[in-house]
């Protein structure tokens, strides 16, 4: 146990620091501080010694240099168990510092402001703070270091319970947290500065930020270890962003059920991202990362009933997601099938009671962000990533939402208003299906889904077979293709299946041939000018 006799407190964010200092004073701890923090303590009658008095050296260079001094770093770094360290400290009059409380200049908050200049960013790069934190964290055997106001209460409780001492286990945990904070801080600085296009910044006077910096530093926090990865011989863990967006999977609250697996999490994300892209009540059923049933309805029960009809065989053991509160009627219907994970923004008491009898079902609540349905955008990833050998691919996320005004009818036959709505629905579903993707839809529900084939024609045939197996007619259906038709054969196959309308990006060298085929087969065709490959 380390007895705390002297503490150095220097914080940018003053949250909770008065209560901390008052508790330390009551415990007989001498307090050192700097600038504004020291003034705050004096104004509140808390005895404090200025660091400049402690070191015998004044603050200088507009506060840039105040704690970069051997008496500060010697007091933090000196090992109490090494006689030569103790002797050197005595020789040079270096007193031990047992507790360091530091939070850093608000660099991240500063650069997040729209009017932030490069000078503002540079002046909010902390130097002395991180240096002290590193010194204290390195010498964790003798020094406790606090870098977050959320740590204050627990440490004060431990000090009071242990006659002013902090345990070795706590000091180590605080050291790890300190190094993590420094890593996050340095990563934010590196990402920001290496994304600046300096020539343009210099000419405009404002930072010109590139989307992808010269060096990408990522920080994630482990949520949990997983039993294994995609297969039992693989190890796995789930990590979240430092600041997860509201409405994203990483914010899910598991209300019941077995521990989530690697595949559960991956499939749950696919289902959740798809279902929250719809504005009315919707249900998405996912199996092996692909939607196997998607539908809109007047309520959750109707949406689920329609989605299940698409492919009840594949839905067995799937992931089911709703974008509205799950009530008892929908829960009763869902409970009749084997489901791995059930997701919704909320659940009624009746719905939770129904699933309480199925203890293994993983029930996830992902709260809708403030702002209603339009706030779903907050939970979207801005950037997607994919690991490759010794590297990573980054891209802006496919967050394009198609509107009626964006599409162009290219055939003689015009789609009806009802068909246009189904085309938009089908197009949205195709966005979440692995390429090559073909999706037959009608009346706000999927009728057949063909996914992940090397040939678009094969995806079309599979989607038709799925519909046939489910006893669903494709007569008069609409079809979405995530990319253009390179030849007319794809159009012929979907026409043979009974489709009446098709939506696709267009842009093929043979667009005229494909459009002519649609006219010949009596199909209405619209193009979007944008594709939705999903690998």
- C-alpha to C-alpha distances, 369 to 168, 299, 373, 374, 397, nearest whole angstrom: 40, 20, 8, 9, 20
Distance, CA of 479 to CA of 316 (rounded, Å): 25
Distance, CA of 523 to CA of 518 (rounded, Å): 5
Distance, CA of 12 to CA of 126 (rounded, Å): 10
Same domain, residue pair 162 and 264: no
Distance, CA of 286 to CA of 267 (rounded, Å): 7
Indicate whether 221 belongs to any domain: no
Going by their DSSP bridges, the two strands 477-481 and 391-396 should be labelled as unpaired
Indicate whether 466 belongs to any domain: yes
Indicate whether 144 belongs to any domain: yes
Distance, CA of 371 to CA of 197 (rounded, Å): 35
Same domain, residue pair 430 and 486: yes
Give the CA dihedral 284, 288, 290, 294, nearest 10 degrees. -20
Provide the number of structural domains found in the chain. 3
Same domain, residue pair 21 and 136: yes
Same domain, residue pair 355 and 504: no
Instruction: State CA 428 to chain mean position distance.
Output: 22
Indicate whether 490 belongs to any domain: yes
Cβ count within 10 A of residue 258 = 14
Exposed, middle or buried: residue 408 (CB in 10 Å: 0-12, 13-18, 19+)?
exposed
Distance, CA of 345 to CA of 366 (rounded, Å): 5
Distance, CA of 349 to CA of 514 (rounded, Å): 53
Same domain, residue pair 44 and 115: yes
User: Is 319 within 8 Å of 340 (Cβ atoms)?
Assistant: yes
User: Is 362 within 8 Å of 256 (Cβ atoms)?
Assistant: yes
Same domain, residue pair 128 and 37: yes
Cβ count within 10 A of residue 90 = 10
Same domain, residue pair 358 and 434: no
Distance, CA of 132 to CA of 2 (rounded, Å): 18
Last residue of a domain, one of 194, 214, 234: 194
| Catalytic machinery residues | 138, 288
| Residue 307's CATH number | 3.40.140.20
Same domain, residue pair 34 and 155: yes
Distance, CA of 48 to CA of 22 (rounded, Å): 11
Q: What are phi and psi of 397, to 5 degrees?
A: -65, 150
Looking at residue 374, what is its pLDDT? 53
Indicate whether 137 belongs to any domain: yes
Looking at residue 377, what is its pLDDT? 64
Distance, CA of 123 to CA of 134 (rounded, Å): 20
User: Is 172 within 8 Å of 140 (Cβ atoms)?
Assistant: yes
Give the N- to C-terminal CA distance of the chain in Å, as an integer. Answer: 54
Q: What are phi and psi of 341, to 5 degrees?
A: -135, 135
Same domain, residue pair 365 and 409: no
Same domain, residue pair 17 and 121: yes
Indicate whether 202 belongs to any domain: no
| Residue 17's CATH number | 3.40.50.1380
Last residue of a domain, one of 149, 170, 194: 194
Distance, CA of 105 to CA of 35 (rounded, Å): 13
Cα dihedral 143, 144, 148, 153 sign? negative
Structure tokens at 261: 């697996």
Structural domain that includes position 431:
405-527
Looking at residue 54, what is its pLDDT? 80
Cβ count within 10 A of residue 395 = 11
Same domain, residue pair 305 and 255: yes
Distance, CA of 88 to CA of 67 (rounded, Å): 20
Indicate whether 175 belongs to any domain: yes
Closest CA to 305 of 325, 283, 327: 283
Indicate whether 167 belongs to any domain: yes
pTM given for the model: 0.87
Three-class SS of 152-199: HHHHHHHHHHCCCEECHHHHHHHHHHHHHHHHHHHHHHHHHHHCECHH
The CA R_g of the chain, rounded to the nearest whole Å, is 30
Edge-first strand listing for the sheet containing 438-442:
253-256, 362-365, 339-344, 318-322, 282-287, 290-296, 445-450, 438-442, 477-481, 499-504, 524-527, 408-409
Per DSSP, 415 falls in state: P
- C-alpha to C-alpha distances, 209 to 106, 111, 434, nearest whole angstrom: 19, 11, 32
Determine the Cα angle at 533 with ends 528 and 535, to 5°.
170
- For residue 438, give the 3-state DSSP assignment: strand
Last residue of a domain, one of 194, 218, 243: 194
Same domain, residue pair 187 and 329: no
Distance, CA of 485 to CA of 322 (rounded, Å): 32
Q: What is the pLDDT along the chain (535 residues), one digit of tens a residue?
A: 678 999 999 999 999 999 999 999 999 999 999 888 889 999 998 999 888 878 777 776 666 777 778 888 889 999 888 888 888 888 888 889 999 999 999 999 998 898 888 889 899 998 989 999 999 999 999 999 999 999 999 999 999 999 889 999 999 999 999 999 999 999 999 999 898 887 677 677 678 788 888 888 888 999 999 999 999 999 999 999 988 888 999 999 999 999 999 999 999 999 999 999 998 999 999 999 999 999 999 999 999 999 999 999 999 999 999 999 999 999 999 999 999 999 999 999 999 999 999 999 999 999 877 765 555 566 677 888 888 898 888 888 888 888 888 899 999 999 999 999 999 999 999 999 998 999 999 999 999 999 989 988 899 999 999 999 999 999 999 999 988 988 888 899 989 999 999 999 998 888 899 999 999 999 999 999 988 888 8
């Amino acid at each position: 146990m380390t007895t705390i006799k002297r503490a150095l407190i220097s914080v940018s964010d003053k949250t909770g620091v008065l209560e901390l200092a008052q508790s330390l004073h009551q415990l007989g701890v001498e307090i050192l501080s700097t600038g504004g923090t020291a003034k705050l303590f004096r104004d509140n009658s808390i005895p404090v010694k200025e660091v400049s008095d402690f070191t015998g050296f004044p603050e200088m260079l507009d506060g840039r240099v105040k704690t970069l001094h051997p008496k500060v770093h010697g007091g933090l770094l000196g090992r109490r168990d090494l006689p030569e360290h103790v002797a050197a400290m005595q020789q040079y009059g270096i007193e031990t510092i047992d507790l360091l409380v530091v939070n850093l200049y608000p660099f991240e908050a500063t650069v997040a402001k729209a009017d932030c200049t490069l000078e503002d960013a540079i002046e909010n790069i902390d130097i002395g703070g991180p240096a002290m934190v590193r010194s204290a964290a390195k010498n964790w055997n003798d020094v406790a270091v606090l870098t977050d106001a959320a740590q204050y209460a627990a440490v004060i409780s431990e000090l009071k319970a242990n006659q002013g001492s902090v345990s070795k286990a706590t000091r180590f945990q605080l050291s790890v947290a300190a190094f993590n904070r420094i890593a996050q801080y340095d990563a934010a600085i590196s990402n920001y500065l290496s994304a600046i296009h300096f020539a343009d910044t210099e000419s405009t006077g404002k930072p010109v930020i590139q989307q992808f910096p010269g060096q990408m530093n990522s920080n994630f926090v482990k949520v949990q270890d997983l039993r294994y990865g995609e297969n039992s011989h693989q190890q796995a863990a789930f990590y979240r962003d430092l600041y997860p967006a509201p409405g994203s999977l990483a914010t899910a609250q598991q209300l019941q059920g077995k521990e989530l697996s690697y595949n559960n999490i991956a499939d749950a994300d696919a289902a959740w991202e798809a279902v929250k892209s719809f504005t009315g009540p919707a249900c998405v059923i996912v199996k092996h990362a692909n939607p196997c049933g998607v539908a809109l309805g007047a309520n959750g029960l109707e949406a689920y009933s329609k989605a299940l009809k698409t492919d009840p065989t594949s839905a067995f053991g799937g992931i089911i997601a709703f974008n509205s509160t799950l009530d008892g009627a929908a829960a009763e219907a869902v409970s009749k099938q084997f489901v791995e994970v059930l997701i919704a923004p909320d659940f009624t008491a009746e719905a939770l009671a129904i699933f309480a009898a199925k203890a293994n079902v993983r029930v996830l609540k992902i709260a809708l962000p403030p702002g209603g349905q339009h706030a779903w955008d907050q939970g979207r990833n801005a950037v997607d990533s994919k690991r490759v050998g010794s590297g990573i691919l980054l891209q802006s996320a496919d967050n394009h939402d198609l509107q009626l005004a964006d599409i162009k009818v290219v055939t003689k036959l015009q789609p009806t208003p009802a068909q246009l709505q189904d085309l938009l629905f089908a197009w949205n579903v195709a966005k979440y299906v692995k390429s090559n993707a073909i999706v037959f839809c009608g009346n706000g529900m999927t009728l057949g889904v063909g996914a992940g084939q090397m040939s678009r024609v094969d995806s079309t045939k599979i989607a038709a077979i799925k519909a046939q197996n489910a006893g669903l007619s494709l007569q008069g259906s609409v079809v979405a293709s995530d990319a253009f038709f390179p030849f007319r054969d794809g159009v012929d196959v979907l026409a043979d299946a009974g489709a009446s309308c098709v939506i696709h990006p267009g842009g093929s060298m043979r667009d005229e041939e494909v459009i002519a085929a649609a006219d010949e087969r009596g199909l209405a065709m619209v193009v979007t000018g944008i594709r939705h490959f999903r690998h």
